[in-house]
Structure 1
């Protein structure tokens, strides 16, 4: 019988693990440490793994502690070798957040605060590319696709400009595609995902209308580019 293997660790999980690593010393705690157990419970509640072949071992405290020890091999202050078995994604997360402890703390806190939101049950095709993980990506997309909010943003643009155009590059779907593009534009939520705290109501002032290309470019870097920064890129 083949061994049942649980799914690989995802960005959300590794961000939470690195956050705990930064707050503790793996060499001075164990798998029975209260915070290790708490993290195990949180990881088991994350809505990102539908299939768990070995549920009894899935993100248990022993596995969480071993993951903390995996990070030791990247830590310049550690003189040993750390646990060598680990994935490439661990190193990516380390490089992204190790020198940005405040950002790491905010993102980890936002993930924990978002676990229970119903928006996390919707799966998006490109969520694996989101640096802050699937949970925050789903919440972010939910806010951007809030129908009532989108209607208000479009109505505001029509009142002020008489048309729906990209705030960055002025692209107008209706002008380019005729009737096919009438009424179409995307919404970009300007509040960084690291600032998400529970189910805060998104205001129309928090969104801007953008074309599809500019929307992806706004999300291309971390921290996100502002509207003015992307406009400056287009001027070069």
Structure 2
């Protein structure tokens, strides 16, 4: 939840990343809240049906279209940051958005990797399915660098960030693809980014021209 834009999402999004469905996720949230309530004196919000809304111990919630949005409470966001439990994995060249608000053209270029790409579970599911091999150039870090390169790879979002709405449901397998840092940079050399096939074709053409010299 922390990785989503503004720390908000609907339950089916979180359930997809956790490889479960909405009902079991709701039950698990309730179990956690009840366990905490056994230790601390907590007054839960009461529904019209006189049942407690245990989820609001963790989230603020509201309707958005036909979906119900959860957003992490500010106190929980602060606690996750302080305890280093945000779940984010950011490599040195993948700069967080808060550090890229002001970049001067011609002085520095960078890739801002969006929250879906940084989400550790989404990354894990993507790499588990596609393997830690670049989808463009087939580079395998483990084969080249040995144990230190095992599992290392970037993930690239196939849907341009500009097309992602507030209630966008990320699919780690169909929306994310593993790429090496070099190819990741090349994909983002233009806006909108090159497609995987476009960069593969460009790479093939370039290598073909070089080999014929």
Shorter-chain TM-score bucket reads 0.3 to 0.5
TM-score relative to the length of structure 1: 0.41
- More helix, by proportion: 1
TM-score by length of 2: 0.45
Relative to its length, the structure with more strand (as a share) is 2
